[in-house]
Structures are given as C-alpha cells and as structure tokens.
Amino acid sequence: MHVETFRIFCDLAELKSFSKTAEKHLLSQSAISQQLAQVELVYKCQLINRKKRPIELTREGQLFYVTSRDILDRYEQFKSELNTMRSSASARINIAAIFSIGMHVLPSYVKKFMVKYPQINVHVEYLEASKIYMQVLSGDIDIGLVAVPKRDRKFEVYEFVNEPLVLVCSPRHLLASESEIDIHKVQFEKFICFDGDVPTRRWIDNILSSYNVVVNPTMEFDNTETIKRAVEINSGVSILPASTIVQEVSIGSLKAIPFSNQNFVRPTGIIVRKNKMYSHACKYFIDLLRGKKAVNVKAKGVWR
C-alpha cells in the first residue's frame, strides 16, 4: 500500500469530508471514494460510516486511522533522519557553555569528538546559564552545558561532571600554608563570591548553610575569571571548582586548599531540547559528554 493512501485516509478522517479531502489532494471525489473502497476490500471491513453526516469512522476505521498516523509520523522521521545523514558532511553542532565549563572542561571532549568527525564544525559559545536554556529551547543551540542544572519538562537533562570545590586564596594569604581546611574557618575571612543570581552561588550558599557557616561577601562577581583576579591580589578568599584554577595553581598565582569536612562538589549538566531530532554526530557528542565512551576525566557523569 502506497504511503499516499495512508495520508489520504488520515485527511479524510480528520476533515470528515470527501469533497474537502479531494480538494486538498487535487483529486476528484470519485478517486477518493475508489481508494477508500480498495482499502476496505483489502482488509474486508468497513472503515467509514458513509450514512453519517459528517462522516464517521467505524471501530475498525479508528484503528486504521491510528495505525496510518503512526506510519506517516515514522515515515516523516525517516525522511528527516535521511536528510540529516546526507548533509552530515557539512553539518555543524552548536554548543553553549557557561564560561568555566567551556574553557576548562569542554576542550578535551571537543578534541575526542574531532577524531571521529573531523568534517563536523563544532561551534562553541560562552553564555550565562539563563541564555543557554533559552537558546536550547529555541533550537539555536543543540547542546547546553551548565552548572547546577535545573529540571524542566521542556528539556532532557543529563549529569555531566561533578567538579571538586576547593578554597582558593593568594599564596600570600595566611591560609596558603594549610594542606586542608575546615569549612568553618571561611566565615572569619573576607569572602569573594558569585553574584546572587548565579546558580553556583546558591549551591555554595547551601553548602555553607548546611555547616551553619555565615559569610560576609566583600566582593561579588558573575564569573570565575574576575573572582580569580580578585583573589590573586589577596582581596579575600573564595570557593571555586578546582578545574577552573589549574593554570593559576601551576604557575603559583593561586593556592587551592581542599576541605577537611568532606569532598564538596559542584554538579554540572548537559541540557538538550526534549524530542528534538539530532544527527548521528550530535548524538555521538552527547554520548561522549555523558561518559558513554572512553573519556579520561576524574569525575564522570552519567542519552536517555
């Protein structure tokens, strides 16, 4: 049976009119009736009650309609995926990440992806979290990477890496000689932190609150780079993901001190729009980020 037969039957069931269905398909009413009669002859049952006005589906017709609609949906999905495969040579994957993840965590994944798909253009933007959610939802961005991801029915959210949190201070600070530190000591220090609307700020505030630690922020910034510069000049201490200060620690401009209480981490997440059609290359990238391939990171996260 040709796919066009399923399409005509679905339109007939939805429009409830032979004349309107014929007009839509640029056919005569007689041609529509003949196709319906042929289908009924094949399956030996009546699909439409022609005595009703507007016409109505019989019980068998309802079953055939549901099946036809499913076939058409699957056929359209097949055509879409086939077109995606054909255009993969010139494909592009758009990724948006908050700056700290994009700069310090994402590059190793991009390198691994390019080994398998060297012809794919991976475009990375650094955006604040709220804009990432908006652009993933609009379809402008394929994959979003955020800290402390929020759950929303419009998105598929997958765990990414759990980034260890450490106390960060200048090498000239009195705490710089400590090999580890109790989190309660933070409340006695000048504290440099993220702005109040940054998800990482709320996450760290909750950690401090769980230990009954109250800090008095002396400076607030919306990104890790500015926080690091303020700590480097010994304006105060901060709590940051260890992955964001690797370079500064290696050259000695910052000191990272682990906490003695427990291994605090900042969760990060992969967000994609729910039910969006993705190329095989994009699915591979998502699997790579989720740790489904061999990825050399200390803290792995967990497609559907």
| Domain spans in the chain, listed from the N-terminal domain onward | 3-86, 88-161+268-289, 162-265
Rounded average pLDDT over 168-172: 97
- Superfamily in which the 162-265 domain is placed by CATH: Periplasmic binding protein-like II (3.40.190.10)
Residue 141: its H or E element: none
CA distance 17 to 29: 10
In the structure, what pLDDT confidence band is assigned to residue 206 with cuts at 50, 70 and 90? very high
15: left (phi over 0), alpha (psi -120 to 50) or beta: alpha
Q: Is the CATH number of domain 3-86 1.10.10.10?
A: yes
Query: What does the pLDDT look like over 49-100, one tens digit per residue?
Result: 988 888 999 999 999 999 999 999 888 888 777 766 665 545 789 999 999 9
- Superfamily in which the 88-161+268-289 domain is placed by CATH: Periplasmic binding protein-like II (3.40.190.10)
State the DSSP code for 167: E
Query: What does the pLDDT look like over 176-195, one tens digit per residue?
Result: 999 999 999 999 899 999 99
Q: Which two three-digit tokens encode residue 212? A: 């009954």
The domains spanning 88-161+268-289 and 162-265 adopt the same CATH topology: yes
Give me the DSSP letters along 86-115: HTGGG-EEEEEE-HHHHHHTHHHHHHHHHH
In the structure, what pLDDT confidence band is assigned to residue 300 with cuts at 50, 70 and 90? very low
Residues 6+ apart with CB under 8 A from 271: 132, 133, 136, 143, 144, 145, 146, 149, 155, 156, 157, 158
